[in-house]
């Protein structure tokens, strides 16, 4: 990986870290000045207020995506705040549980049909940052209106937090785990293939929330991207979906070869790479079941990502199979199966549960045929 690419990948966490350090300094300085003549109890009240403000900031951000998407002709599909997710299933709204590493929330909508290969996409992607910016301006002006120094300081700190969120989401940046809204909007503006890739992702997600499996969706949605296109995270997601579909169709060898290419070429952002490695481990368990190969796939980075993605049913499935087949630790395997069942209970994509159960059964049966663990 070149130095320039490394700088681009680490730009988002570095900028975010510096901005939040600055926010913390500003909060301490502003609050310290305003509390000079107040009872210390006001200090204690600040933290729950800030906690509530952070939650509201996530809601406002995702609501910005929702409003801008609906204005652009999209339809509601799902709305997630932290791990609580509202999905629309056959006209009914249901509460599910799901989380994604590197995100505090997510608003996924059904895009309008493409006209001449295009559709409105930029406003929907920038809606969250736009909502953050508007919120920061409104709250800042409110802080000026308050004569009480303590209340004024609280509002200024909340406004600063919204401004930091607008910057870290609106300016095009990426990390090893995920890309931000600004980066996606920038990619969409200049790349027609990226716009189509996002459209496909949203359509696939909408069908998935309805309980439709990948193998039952249109074939034309699952065409492997060209190698040079895989450098774009929006397009590389389609490559991952294609491999997921191969897994559902039991084309394990083909899926394994394709995913290993993506992993070796280092074209996947963290969340996609983590899931691809999990599927490669599954393919190995159903094939030669070589302990050394599996240990090579379970790098320190992979284990860290799997730990942060414990609410992904594929990650739990992988941990269960490693415990049962490789480590032969029945107690640990039973515990992980309980985690699997708990995750499955409120998982937003019901067809994934059915697929994962089938894959678990196939892997366990394959291990019982007597493959070596060398």
Q: What's the pLDDT score for residue 11?
A: 63
Residue 35 pLDDT > 70:
no
Q: What's the pLDDT score for residue 34?
A: 61
- The pLDDT > 90 percentage for the chain reads 68
Query: Mean pLDDT, to the nearest integer, of 9-26?
Result: 72
Residue 1 pLDDT > 60:
no
147-194 pLDDT, tens per residue?
777 788 888 889 988 998 999 999 888 887 888 999 999 999 889 999
> Bridge-partner residues for 97, per DSSP?
84
Q: What's the pLDDT score for residue 38?
A: 60
Q: What's the pLDDT score for residue 280?
A: 97
Give me the chain's average pLDDT, please: 89
CA angle (227 as vertex; 222, 230 as ends), nearest 5? 70
Residue 41 pLDDT > 70:
no
Residue 4 pLDDT > 50:
no
Residue 24 pLDDT > 50:
yes
Give the model's confidence band at 16: pLDDT under 50 very low, under 70 low, under 90 confident, else very high.
confident
Residue 264 pLDDT > 90:
yes
Q: What pTM was estimated for this model as a whole?
A: 0.89
- Contact predicate 14/173, CB 8 Å: no
CA angle (347 as vertex; 122, 169 as ends), nearest 5? 25
Q: What's the pLDDT score for residue 52?
A: 86
* CA–CA distances in Å: residue 296 to residues 234, 270, 362: 27, 17, 23
Tokens representing 55 are 């939650």
Q: Which of 310, 280, 314 is nearest to 294 (CA)?
A: 280
Tokens representing 283 are 């393919």
Residue 25 pLDDT > 80:
no
CA angle (34 as vertex; 31, 36 as ends), nearest 5? 105
Give the model's confidence band at 239: pLDDT under 50 very low, under 70 low, under 90 confident, else very high.
very high
Question: Is 208 exposed, middle or buried, given 0-12, 13-18 or 19+ CB atoms closer than 10 A?
Answer: buried
Q: Which of residues 42 and 102 earns the better pLDDT score?
A: 102
Q: Which of residues 47 and 36 earns the better pLDDT score?
A: 47
> Can you point out the beta strands (E) in 208-300?
none
- Distance (Å, whole) CA 191 – CA 248: 30
Q: Where are the alpha helices (DSSP H) in 146-251?
A: 149-170, 181-190, 192-209, 233-248
> In degrees rounded to 5, what are phi and psi of residue 298?
-85, 65
Reduced 3-state DSSP string for 124-150? HHHHHHHHHHHHHHHHHHHHHHCCCHH
Query: Mean pLDDT, to the nearest integer, of 99-125?
Result: 93
Q: What's the pLDDT score for residue 43?
A: 67
319-371 pLDDT, tens per residue?
999 999 999 999 999 999 999 999 999 999 999 999 999 999 999 999 887 54
137-150 pLDDT, tens per residue?
999 999 899 877 77
Number of residues that this document lists for the chain: 374
Q: What's the pLDDT score for residue 373?
A: 45
Query: Mean pLDDT, to the nearest integer, of 15-33?
Result: 73
* CA–CA distances in Å: residue 155 to residues 21, 49, 139: 18, 10, 6
Query: Mean pLDDT, to the nearest integer, of 297-309?
Result: 93
What separation, in Å, do the N-terminal and C-terminal C-alpha atoms of the chain show?
32
Query: Mean pLDDT, to the nearest integer, of 71-88?
Result: 96
Q: What's the pLDDT score for residue 372?
A: 45
Q: What's the pLDDT score for residue 37?
A: 61
Whose tokens are 């941990």? That residue is 319
């Amino acid at each position: 990986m070149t130095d320039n690419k490394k700088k681009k990948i680490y730009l988002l966490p570095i900028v975010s870290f510096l901005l939040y350090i600055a926010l913390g300094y500003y909060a301490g300085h502003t609050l310290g000045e305003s509390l000079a003549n107040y009872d210390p109890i006001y200090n204690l009240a600040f933290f729950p207020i800030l906690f509530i403000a952070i939650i509201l900031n996530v809601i406002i951000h995702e609501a910005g995506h929702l409003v801008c998407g609906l204005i652009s002709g999209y339809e509601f599909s799902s709305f997630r705040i932290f791990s609580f997710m509202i999905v629309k299933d056959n006209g009914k709204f249901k509460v599910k549980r799901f989380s994604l590493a590197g995100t505090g929330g997510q608003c996924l909508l059904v895009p309008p049909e493409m006209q001449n290969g295009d559709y409105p996409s930029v406003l929907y992607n920038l809606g969250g940052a736009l909502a953050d910016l508007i919120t920061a301006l409104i709250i800042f002006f409110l802080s000026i209106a308050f004569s009480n120094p303590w209340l004024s300081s609280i509002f200024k700190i909340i406004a600063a937090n919204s401004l930091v969120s607008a910057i870290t989401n609106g300016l095009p940046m990426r990390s090893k785990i995920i890309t931000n809204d600004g980066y996606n909007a920038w990619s969409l503006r200049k790349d027609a293939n990226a716009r189509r890739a996002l459209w496909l992702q949203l359509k696939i997600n909408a069908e998935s929330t309805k309980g439709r499996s990948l193998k039952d969706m249109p074939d034309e949605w699952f065409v492997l991207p060209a190698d040079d296109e895989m450098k774009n995270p929006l397009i590389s997601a389609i490559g991952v979906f294609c491999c997921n579909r191969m897994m559902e169709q039991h084309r394990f060898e083909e899926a394994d070869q394709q995913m290993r290419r993506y992993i070796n070429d280092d074209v996947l952002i963290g969340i996609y790479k983590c899931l691809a490695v999990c599927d490669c481990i599954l393919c190995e368990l159903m094939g030669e079941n070589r302990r050394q190969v599996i240990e090579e796939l379970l790098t320190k980075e992979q284990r860290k990502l799997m730990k942060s993605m414990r609410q992904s049913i594929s990650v739990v499935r992988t941990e269960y199979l490693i415990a049962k087949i490789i480590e032969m630790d029945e107690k640990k395997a039973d515990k992980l199966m309980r985690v699997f069942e708990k995750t499955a209970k409120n998982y937003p994509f019901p067809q994934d549960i059915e697929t994962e159960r089938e894959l678990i059964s196939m892997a366990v049966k394959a291990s019982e045929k007597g493959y070596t663990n060398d």
